[in-house]
């Protein structure tokens, strides 16, 4: 029988769904949702590996001295006993999947970004619900592992045929919101015109490149503000000065970063459209 625990009184609103626990093919899914920022670290002693994935926001991951940002089209993979830190923004859902078995595609991958396909993402949400039976969940577990892959290339280097121009750039920017490359420079890398790439951004995300990048940077900033000073956050997400960052943040959210940290999330917080 699946083990399900709901911690509704917890400020982080954690739900646990366990299937086949103790067996090599078992799986434990912890589903978190909070009105404030979420932070995770280290690994559970009773499971070998962990996978973090969020369907609706940015994850900031730290291992060693490197900070990497991930969009919903990617997950963060960690083998047991590897020190790490994962952070998410306010009003964001995060799934933490604990496994004894590593997916074949990530064999030898100790820690870092991992690609996750749409079906695997859908199945994670399916088994983290009340009423899911153990047989269904364990079958889904195998498909979830099959849907994980090596990390995506960090940046487009060749022409992308057909649709996918904006998505290719967006995935690269999700890894590093501070990336300074202009729209015309991305277009040169992809061997298309700047107008073509701009049209694809509007078609894919409903907004031009510059606006999408600004929302991405500010979404990433919200993940970091509870644990880093404003000046450091500003530079990490691509602003030349704290004042420029504060101006952009206030324009987007109607509150300064300092007020945001002291008083909680703004009533309305638009984010960059998910990268899938």
- Residues 206, 131, single domain; the answer is no
Quote the CA–CA distance of 253 and 140 in Å, as a whole number.
39
Structure tokens at 19: 């299937």
Q: Please check whether residue 202 lies inside any domain of the structure.
A: yes
Which residues lie below 8 Å from residue 52, measured CB to CB, with a gap of 6+?
40, 59, 61, 75, 76, 78, 86, 94, 95, 96, 97
Structure tokens at 152: 């995506």
- Residues 91, 132, single domain; the answer is yes
Closest CA to 137 of 146, 129, 127, 145: 127
Element (H, E) at 9: none
Per-residue pLDDT at 159: 42
Quote the CA–CA distance of 69 and 223 in Å, as a whole number.
10
- Residues 145, 13, single domain; the answer is yes
Enclosing domain of residue 225: 165-263
Q: Please check whether residue 194 lies inside any domain of the structure.
A: yes
Q: Please check whether residue 131 lies inside any domain of the structure.
A: yes
Number of neighbours of residue 188 by Cβ within 10 angstroms = 14
The CATH code of the domain that includes 176 is: 1.10.10.60
The CATH code of the domain that includes 29 is: 2.60.120.10
Q: Please check whether residue 276 lies inside any domain of the structure.
A: no
Q: Please check whether residue 159 lies inside any domain of the structure.
A: no
- Residues 15, 74, single domain; the answer is yes
Q: Please check whether residue 157 lies inside any domain of the structure.
A: no
Q: Please check whether residue 183 lies inside any domain of the structure.
A: yes
H-helix segments, 102-229? 118-127, 134-146, 165-175, 183-190, 194-205, 209-224
- Residues 9, 122, single domain; the answer is yes
* Strands 74-79 and 111-116, bridge-based pairing: antiparallel
Q: Please check whether residue 274 lies inside any domain of the structure.
A: no
Per-residue pLDDT at 273: 54
- Residues 131, 188, single domain; the answer is no
Provide block-wise average pLDDT over 10 residues at a time, the chain (276 residues). Answer: 51 85 91 78 66 90 79 86 84 91 89 92 95 95 94 50 75 88 95 95 93 93 89 94 96 91 60 54
SS3 199: helix
* Strands 14-19 and 27-34, bridge-based pairing: antiparallel
Closest CA to 31 of 59, 7, 3, 60: 7
Structure tokens at 184: 């015309």
Residue where a domain terminates, one of 149, 180, 209: 149
- Residues 52, 101, single domain; the answer is yes
- Residues 118, 223, single domain; the answer is no
Count: domains in the chain = 2
Residue where a domain terminates, one of 149, 180, 203: 149
- Residues 64, 27, single domain; the answer is yes
Per-residue pLDDT at 269: 52
Is the separation of the CB atoms in 237 and 178 below 8 Å? yes
- Residues 220, 92, single domain; the answer is no
- Residues 170, 225, single domain; the answer is yes
- Residues 98, 8, single domain; the answer is yes
Residue where a domain terminates, one of 123, 149, 175: 149
């Amino acid at each position: 029988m699946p083990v399900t625990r709901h911690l509704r009184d917890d400020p982080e609103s954690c739900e646990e769904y366990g299937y086949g626990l103790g067996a090599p093919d078992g799986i434990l899914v912890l589903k978190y949702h909070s009105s404030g920022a979420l932070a995770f670290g280290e690994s559970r002693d009773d499971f070998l590996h962990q996978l973090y994935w969020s369907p609706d926001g940015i994850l900031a991951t730290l291992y060693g001295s490197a900070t990497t940002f991930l969009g919903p089209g990617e997950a963060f993979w960690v083998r047991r006993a590897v020190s790490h830190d994962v952070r998410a923004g306010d009003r964001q859902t995060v799934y933490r999947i604990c496994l004894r078995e590593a997916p074949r595609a990530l064999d030898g991958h100790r820690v870092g970004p991992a690609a996750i396909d749409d079906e695997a993402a859908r199945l994670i949400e399916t088994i983290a619900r009340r009423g899911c039976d153990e047989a269904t969940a364990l079958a889904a577990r195998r498909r979830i592992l099959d849907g994980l892959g090596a990390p995506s290339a960090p940046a487009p280097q060749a022409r992308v045929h057909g649709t996918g121009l904006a998505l290719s750039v967006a995935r690269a920017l999700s890894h590093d919101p501070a990336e300074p490359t202009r729209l015309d420079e991305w277009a040169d890398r992809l061997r298309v015109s700047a107008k073509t790439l701009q049209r694809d951004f509007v078609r894919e995300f409903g907004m031009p490149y510059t606006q999408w990048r600004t929302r991405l940077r500010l979404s990433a900033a919200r993940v970091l503000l509870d644990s880093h000073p404003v000046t450091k956050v500003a530079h990490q997400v691509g602003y030349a000065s704290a004042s420029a960052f504060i101006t952009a943040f206030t324009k987007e959210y109607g509150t300064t970063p300092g007020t945001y940290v002291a008083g909680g999330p703004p009533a309305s917080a638009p984010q960059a459209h998910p990268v899938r």
